[in-house]
Amino acid sequence: MGRRPCCSKEEGLNRGAWTAEEDRILTDYVKAHGEGRWANLPKRAGLKRCGKSCRLRWLNYLRPGIKRGNISPDEEELIMRLHKLLGNRFN
Max mean pLDDT range (2-6, 9-13, 31-35, 85-89):
31-35
Q: 23-79 pLDDT, tens per residue?
A: 999 999 999 999 989 999 999 999 999 999 999 999 999 999 888 889 999 999 999
Sign of CA dihedral 9, 12, 18, 23: negative
Contact indicator for 38, 54 with CB cutoff of 8 Å: yes
Phi, psi of 20, deg, nearest 5 = -60, -35
The per-residue pLDDT for 14 is: 85
In order of their start, the domains of the chain are 14-86 (1.10.10.60)
Burial environment of residue 32 by CB neighbours within 10 A (0 to 12, 13 to 18, 19 or more): exposed
What is the value of pTM for the model shown? 0.71
